Amino acid sequence: MKSAESSPEVLEVLATLQRDGYCLMKGLIPSHEIVAVRESVGNSVRKHTSLPMPQGYVTGFLRHDQSIAPYLANPRLLAVLDRLFGDYPRISMLTGTINGPGIKRGDVHADWPFNQNSKARIRAPYPDIVMNLVTMWMMTDYTIENGGTMVIPGSHKRDYAPRHGTEHDPKAKYEGEVQLQGKAGDVGLFDARTWHAIAPNVTQEERIGVIVRYAPWWLNLQTLRPGTPDHRQIVEANKGHDSRVEPVPRSIYDRLPESAKPLVFHMIDESC
């Protein structure tokens, strides 16, 4: 029997990521379970959002909602991570999102650690290596109409990212851009270097998702965590507005599925 690492699905995902910078994995959350997960995620984002609705955004989402936890170590996804990162992958960020009716197009950007607006970043021109895999867990269908994320195929092969004041304007529309589409329960994957943007939601329905980013064990994630020396020295001391990852209380960590714990043990807050 073929190993999961060499399955046709894994090989196709890896080839598509290498070529286009993004791809789709279907049904990582079973269809008979997605309704309950969607309801939990949606309620939690509305309750804890740091942005005014209709754009819900909750960092450190696992602190507030663990409904997605049973799926984070899906063997199909872990097989992809194994080929990309080797042993001991971990989650760098976990964010609950809602893009509600009326959301406008956002700026085109690459994600951390390649976003050149961050103080903690891989400075451009950056190396040709996957350092963060962004996964978009679709709680609702992602469509063109409701704002499926805009991506620029092949943009991960560039060694720079859009930035204000340069010829690569974050507000520009780029040739070949497409929207990530999938069914509730599917997961979109893309290399953090891939240029992407929020797309308009012209429907009357919310587009609900959870963004989970996976990284190799050797990538320093402490700059993302408020209260650490790295965050104080690199981000706060330089007045940065970088992404942030709040810790997971020990009481919540202890209740997580055993399969998920190795992915988030570095986020534990032992004080609560």
Q: What is the structure's pLDDT at 20?
A: 98
The pLDDT profile of the chain, 272 residues, written as one tens digit per residue, is 344 447 999 999 999 999 999 999 999 999 999 999 999 999 999 999 999 999 999 999 999 999 999 999 999 999 999 999 999 999 999 999 999 999 999 999 999 999 999 999 999 999 999 999 999 999 999 999 999 999 999 999 999 999 988 889 999 999 999 999 999 999 999 999 999 999 999 999 999 999 999 999 999 999 999 999 999 999 999 999 999 899 999 999 999 999 999 999 999 987 75
As a whole number of angstroms, the distance between CA 181 and CA 250 comes to: 36
- Domains of the chain, residue spans: 4-261
**What does the pLDDT read at residue 272?**
57
pLDDT score for 270: 79
Q: Output the pLDDT for position 250.
A: 96
Pick the CATH number of 4-261 from 3.40.50.1110, 2.60.120.620, 3.90.1300.10, 3.10.150.10: 2.60.120.620
pTM given for the model: 0.95
